Structure 1
Amino acid sequence: MDEQQLPAADARDGIEKTLRYALEVVSDGIWDWDIASNHVKRSPGWYRMLGYPLDGLPEDVDTWHSVIHPDDFERVMQGFQAYIEGRHPTYAAEYRCRCLDGEYLWISDHGRFVEFDGQGQATRMIGAHRNIHERKLVELELQQRNEELHELNRNLEQLVEQRTEALRRANLALAEQAAEALRLSETDPLTQIFNRRRFESSLQHEWLHFQRHGHDVSLLMFDLDHFKRINDSHGHPVGDRVLVAVAKGVRNSLRDGDCFARWGGEEFIVLLPDTPLAASHALAERLRRCIGEVGAGLEHALTASFALATLRCGESLEDLLRRLDDALYRAKQRRDCIELC
């Protein structure tokens, strides 16, 4: 019986030697863990890889623990424990091991159970280490460059967003400035109603519309009577306040679509789209009373002379304004009246 067991033991030793030779060929060091005794046998290649003298460290699991980089330890233990407990089918890890000179070497570590007891519990585990230091450094450098590139891209995206937002705000500010500049260019600075330039533009647009569709359009022009007397008696500041009050009162009596402007000095003009002569005449009567109310506190009554006209087919704007101006001249001869033309 003993003679039969001896060849079997020799055969087993031969298989293990073959296994070790194979592992030595494909790795830089192997380890053999007897789980019951906690004894760990490491190959000469393992010691050479880390720079330790052969068998120069205790042959137990604590030695393995002691050479793992502190930053890698928890991760490695979690993976190892997952295999031991059967929660993961393999054990494989990459981590840094401390060499004899204090430097750390990146290695890959793979292991598996190779022997079990009668209850199926693992009693032995064999693994192999491989030096991956150069490859890992290149990998980490590439990873760092990728992270730097991603960070650069994020910074560029933020910069683009900031520049886009700044450009949007600048464009908005320019648009607001342009709108304000346009408003100022079309507004009488004293009365804050439209000026002559804006009125002429609106009249041109309405005249073209009239040529195509022939709808009723009226013009109303008025001039404050004896306004020079107000400036001479009370001073120009009072005269300016009267002009502002007249503009405000008239504006409140008009529609949103009517164009009301200061024509010059104490002379004002109103463009009344879709308004026949009879309606514009009724409006002029209301404005005449309104102006009288504005001047209620003055030494002399405040009145205005009005001229009314409607657009005529074939008549130029120059002829229309001349006709209106002539009518206002006639009204000024009588004062506080409305002249139709």
Structure 2
Amino acid sequence: MIRLNNCWRLTRGLTILISLILVTLVILDRWLEYKYTLVPQEKSRQLQRLNESSARMWQTISDLMLADNRAATEGFITSYSASTPFRAIALIDEGRVLLANQLSLKGSKVGDISCYRRTWVSEAVTESSPVIVAHPSRENHLCSVMPVTMLERSTSLRPERLAALVVEYDMSPAMTALTQQVWNPQQWVRLLAFALLVAFVITLILNHFIVKPLNLIRLRMQEYGQGNALARVELEGSCELMEVAENFNELMTQVSEAEQEVRRSEERWIKALDAAGDGVWDWDLRTNTLFFSSQWKRMLGYQSYEIGDTFEDWSGRVHPDDLDKALRCVEAHLAGDTEVYRATYRMRCKNGDYRWFMDRGMVFERDSDGKALRVTGTHSDISEQKRTEAALKESQQQFQLAMQGSNDGLWDWRLRDNSIYFSPRWKGMLGYADDELENKLSVWEGLLHPDDLLAAREEAARCVTGKKDQYEVEFRLRHKQGHWVYALSRAIALKDENGHVERLVGTHMDLTEIRAVQKQLEESRHQLKKLAFYDALTGLPNRRLLEENMTRQLADSQANHKILAVAMMDLDGFKQVNDTHGHDIGDELLQAVADRLKLCMQEHDDIARLGGGR
């Protein structure tokens, strides 16, 4: 058994951690209850209280005002002191405060009453009941608006008229009392003490049954990692960690046996790969030595003793054009940027010829800092595959492009002899038969629109010089019947093994119908714009265009100190015309009026129909 001197340090840490978790959970639970349960409940109670008080207040004041007893009404209103939740109570008539529970508000304008809104008064009058809404600018304040019927003193007939009773209700005292009740410091001290006690007990249990056994297992694992293959864990008791210790001991035994088996299997797979025709290499970066299998050396035409075990024995035989790329692949894998090292390059054989090889490998060992220590891989001869790929490359590209351009015209420009091929479909797009146009570059240039010739040539020059890999340009070609055909030409640049462009192969797509549709769409947009800004009946600008014109002219008049006049006209009796003669006659009347008004307008004047006869 191993004694842990830092046991109490771990205990204090666990105690603090568990205490913080428990206190956090309690605070979070209390806050959620306060935020989403207690606060809504309290607000609901305050709203119910205001609703009941408003109903009683509305009934009492309405009865007193109908009896024309203003003295009793004022006494009733002033009985609600401003120190109560009823911050402000005001009876408003004709834009002024008639009566209020605060002397400073009496006789003032409605602008001094923050809870007064015409829309709320209109809603209360319409529904004939109090309207209760949240205060527009003050948190935890409610506004209640009630219509009050009162008598007109100015006539002996005692006609009735409506006034508005506005109440501002403050829920802040109730919400403050709730907050003080919930967040009582004495209560939180008791909760904190209880959380610390529970956390300390839990920490003692965890330390005795979990922390100490885990530390013992960790120490034995460190000993095994440092090379002590006989390191084993010894625990007493019958718990889950005892089973973990037993499994660890069994694992260490199995790992030791597996390491011996790995060493034996390495010898077997090297021999197997040699027999399959692939070479094997193993690079020890600690000593910077390389092992090359016998098959690896025979693939280059050497005997086993003719190649050494240094890095230069490999790099010195790689083709100079491929060496930088191969080294970058090696460095990327050693740095951990790639999971597998893979590189394709040429190597010089004993007879001086170069053959293509594919190298594949992987880092099998790294130190604690992640630095590669050992890399193992294979070496495969792919020279025959490369020759096959080169033979198929040209035919595959031709086939793929032909399939892509089967519905369009196909063209193929070979730069070596400056010959060009136009497919029958390419010529048919321009109304020509296959034998009516020669396959010459000058024929294409002669059919191009003069305004498009320069752009087409410059795009081709960028592809020929290798600045671009794809050719794409839109131009017009002259049809056999004389009109212009819009075409989109696309091509890819094919390069030889030296990276020089040797061919441009592409297609022609007829865009004439697409351009026609685009023109129709543009006309449709113009028509939609006209419908959006002009009245369909009279042809005059509508309200939207008038607003834009007036905004512009107002800005111009202000900037240039000019006078701007606005006239508003409405056709009297227009409704009778519609009702008597029908809407068709009314529409004709509007059109006639609009035509006459246009004659009266100057060039810089604006006239518009706002709607109806206006």
- Quick check: TM above 0.5? no
Coarse TM-score class (shorter-chain normalised): 0.3 to 0.5
Greater radius of gyration (CA) = 1
